Structure 1
Amino acid sequence: GIVVPGGFGGRGVEGKIAVCKYARENNIPFLGICLGMQCAVIEFARNVCGIKGANSTEFDKTSVEEQQVVIDMPEHKGSEKGMGGTMRLGLRDTVFLTENCKLRKLYDARKISERHRHRYEVNPKVVSKLSRAGLLFVGMGTNENAAHVNGKVSSYATLLKLAECETSKTIEENNTQEMYEISEREVLLSKIEDLCGTGDDETDTTSVRMEIFELQGHPYFVGVQFHPEYLSHPLKPSPPLFGLICAASGQLESFLRGSKIPTPVNVLKAAENYGSNVAENVLQETHLFVNELSMLTDQNADESQLSGSSKY
């Protein structure tokens, strides 16, 4: 599996974008975190959606509006005095728009709270095009810095309401009401387009923030704007990171179906269930194993030097 982590600045970005393409085209489990998510969006916009020159305003200040797939967040733009106080920081809520996605099942919750540290975001204006091409934005947050409190409350209420919509629609035609069943994908796309077209004041283009995407048809191609590593723990790994490891080891689908608990998660869950002493013993045994493995490696290296030949 591949992780493209967060960061700032343009150094090495084209290499990160190339890695995103490689993982996408070769069905390699992938997790993009913060900037890594944005790089994956840029790559997809360029090579799947055909947006020539697609980029982030962080890296290319001369790009035209159509190329700006990642932009400064309107409410966090810097001033002439500098960039102080312009980051979106701390715990923020993300609401899943569908139950039929990997991270929704891994988190087992409709709404989650994760820590953030960024000042750029995926441009809501291109989200519909990206999603219809298969990069589905399954989790969204809201603009917590809306100019008016009512706008903030309203946008969050709209997000929650749309997230809870069923996979069917009632429409009026020829003065009669008929129920039309439409696919879950079309319902999700409809939610995405409704949300990305919702604004709360004249300065904001939208009241929502793109938090999670999943690539349709890929074993595990996931991007998150937040930093899952901040709340991860050895006995309770963060769902995006846990999902990546499961996918890389070929165990994700069986885990999501509930037919298998991946090793060593079953051991760790048992440790949690039976008390802290068991948990400590598991960790101690793990440390002993790693130390023994390290000593064995050093011993083999010393023997190779003495014999004048390598055993590897």
Structure 2
Amino acid sequence: SYKSLMEALVHGGIANDARVELDCIEAEQIEEAGVKGLLDRADGILVPGGFGDRGSEGKIAAVRYARENRVPFFGICLGMQMAAVEFARNVCGLEGANSSEFDEQSPHPVIHLMETQKGVDRKGATMRLGAYPCALREDSLALRLYGKKKISERHRHRYEFNNGYRDLFSRHGMILSGLSPDGNLVEIVELKDHPWFLGCQFHPEFKSRPMDCHPLFKGFVKAALQNRQAEREVPRIKVART
């Protein structure tokens, strides 16, 4: 259900004293028709969480559109993972890069099941569930938005960023701005040369409230407001989902 996600975007509007127009797009539609017409009037693009590979290439196309056209982008859980795959393919030049969830034979599994979770067959046992702490990097968008270096956020996922690609991603301009306190897990990614591009491995929508908007949603809606087309009063946020 995307109910809490949609509500969090409305909270972002309240926090910015603005109404937000939400336009949900099936990611499979993007696969069939391409981004033109579907995304070209977006003031912000959000790719939410989810499981399975349905629409995954459409989500990757939405990420690419946001990155190349400098449209504010917010990726949550699977959305962050798709941002990593898009960056690997189209910025780092890693042909065939993917999440091992979708392609176990990928030559570049930039998202993979953590080693500690392989071979665990108890239901839910491979899933990272509940609240986990995260340390934010100095001079990052995440730190500016949260206003503090240590945060705690709620997780619900099986796959993680593959640490074998950290150096390559960093060299090409991706900032790994949020890490688990031991430095082992990548929780937040950003792009250096982009007005507002952030992906998080957790679900910030679970902690947002009407009068206490989550800082990431507040920041994303603010960026969409600043980016909105001159003739439009209300920012239009496109949500590419399955």
1:139 aligned onto 2:178: yes
8 Å contact kept, 2:50–2:77? yes
Shift of 1:41: 0.5
TM-score, normalisation: structure 2:
0.73
Per-residue deviation, 1:76: 2.2
Instruction: Supply the distance in 2 between the matched residues of 1:43 and 1:90 (Cα, whole angstroms).
Output: 27
Q: For residue 245 of structure 1, report the CA deviation from its aligned partner.
A: 0.2
Q: Find 1:213's aligned residue among 164, 183, 189.
A: 189
Superposed counterparts of 1:87-236, under 5 Å: 87-98=127-138, 100-142=139-181, 156=182, 159=183, 208-236=184-212
User: 1:95·1:110 contact (CA, 8 Å) conserved in 2?
Assistant: yes
Q: Does 1:56 align with 2:89?
A: no
Alpha-carbon distance between aligned partners in 2 of 1:89 and 1:78, rounded to the nearest angstrom = 18
CA distance in 1, matches of 2:51, 2:118: 15
**How does the TM-score come out when normalised to structure 1?**
0.57
AA matched with 2:52? G
Q: CA deviation at 1:85?
A: 1.3
* 2:187 partner SS: strand
Tell me what 1:238 maps to: 214
Q: Which residue does the alignment assign to 2:111?
A: 70
Percent of aligned pairs with the same amino acid: 51
Query: What is the CA–CA distance in structure 2 between the aligned matches of 1:125 and 1:58, rounded to whole Å?
Result: 17
CA distance in 2, matches of 1:59, 1:13: 9
CA distance in 2, matches of 1:12, 1:78: 27
- What amino acid is aligned across from residue 123 of structure 1 in structure 2? N
Whichever residue aligns with residue 18 of structure 1, its letter is: A
Equivalent-residue separation in structure 2 for 1:78 and 1:34 (angstroms): 22
The structural deviation recorded for 1:78 is 4.3
Distance in 2 separating the partners of 1:237 and 1:217: 26
DSSP 3-state at the match of 1:250: helix
Note if contact 1:31-1:222 (Cα within 8 Å) is conserved in structure 2: yes
Contact 2:137 2:143 in 1 (8 A): no
Secondary structure, aligned partner of 1:217: coil
Deviation at 1:84, TM superposition (A): 3.4
CA distance in 2, matches of 1:242, 1:103: 12
Question: Match for 1:117: what amino acid?
Answer: R
Matched, 1:42 2:102: no
Gaps of 5+ in 2: 1-43, 228-242
CA drift of 1:224 comes to 0.3
Which has the larger strand fraction? 2
CA distance in 2, matches of 1:68, 1:102: 27
Q: Is the 8 A contact 1:42 1:54 kept in 2?
A: yes
Paired amino acid for 1:23: A
Query: 1 or 2 for the larger relative contact order (CA 8 Å, sep ≥6)?
Result: 2
- Asked whether the 8 Å contact 1:49–1:133 carries over to 2, the reply is yes
CA distance in structure 2 between the partners assigned to 1:93 and 1:239 by the alignment: 16
Q: Alignment partner of 1:249: what SS?
A: helix
CA distance in 1, matches of 2:89, 2:60: 10
Distance (Å, rounded) in 2 between the aligned partners of 1:238 and 1:87: 24
Residues 106, 243 of structure 1: 8 Å contact kept: yes
| 5+ long unaligned stretches in structure 1 | 143-155, 160-207, 252-312
The one-letter code matched in structure 2 to 1:72 is L
1:120 is aligned with what amino acid?
Y
Q: Does 1:31 align with 2:71?
A: no
Q: Whose radius of gyration is greater, 1 or 2?
A: 1
1:22 to 65, 88, 91: 65
